[in-house]
Amino acid sequence: MSEPPDEQKRRQDYDDLNNEAAGRDVGRIKRFRPDQSPEFLDKKKRENEERISQLMQMMRDPVYAAAYQGAWDSYHRAQEVLDQALLDNAEEIERLESLIAEYEENTLRMADGTLAFLAADGSLRSAEGRLLRGEPVWTCPGFVPPH
């Protein structure tokens, strides 16, 4: 028993939609992605060619050409500054990660595995800041300061 024509069309439309969304050609004019239809693509190509032609016409004006070049130069300088800042940040992150690893390596570890740090007041605190021991550590029997 075959499906009713409405159900067949709905199923075909559903398949076409999924194929077009996945970028596969279904052998028909694209119905669900008009931004990929041949007419749309041709129109976009013509618009781009017109813009390029207009730009070339405006570039013949020395004042406009100088302003255009100045804008591009400013953009490139800003991009160079941004690239250097990103590089500097990446290097600083690496330095800080190395410092953290060094601190953790030289940190006191409690019997339960908790990392312990000596606070300025001499108390022992966890990495989260939780008080582990209130009295100054150097008053505790057997305390040996870290190297």
Q: Are residues 37 and 100 in the same domain?
A: yes
CB atoms < 10 A from the CB of 124, how many?
Answer: 21
| Whether residue 112 is found in the same domain as residue 125 | yes
The answer to whether the CB of 108 falls within 8 A of the CB of 116 is yes
Model pLDDT, residue 129: 82
State whether 39 and 97 are in the same domain. Answer: yes
* Domain co-membership, 102 together with 112: no
Q: Is residue 78 part of a domain?
A: yes
Instruction: Choose among 133, 113, 114, 135: nearest CA to 124.
Output: 133
Please tell me whether residues 51 and 38 are part of one structural domain.
Answer: yes
Number of domains in the chain: 2
Sign of torsion over alpha carbons 83, 89, 95, 97: negative
User: Both ends of the chain: CA-CA distance in Å?
Assistant: 86
Residue 140: predicted pLDDT = 56
pLDDT of residue 23: 72
pLDDT at position 139, please? 55
Q: Are residues 144 and 89 in the same domain?
A: no
76: containing domain: 33-106
Instruction: Kindly give the confidence (pLDDT) of every residue in the chain, 147 residues in length, as a single tens digit, with 9 standing for 90 and above.
Output: 577 778 888 888 788 777 777 777 776 655 556 666 677 888 889 999 999 999 999 999 999 999 999 999 999 999 999 999 999 999 999 999 999 888 877 777 777 777 888 777 777 888 888 888 665 555 555 555 555
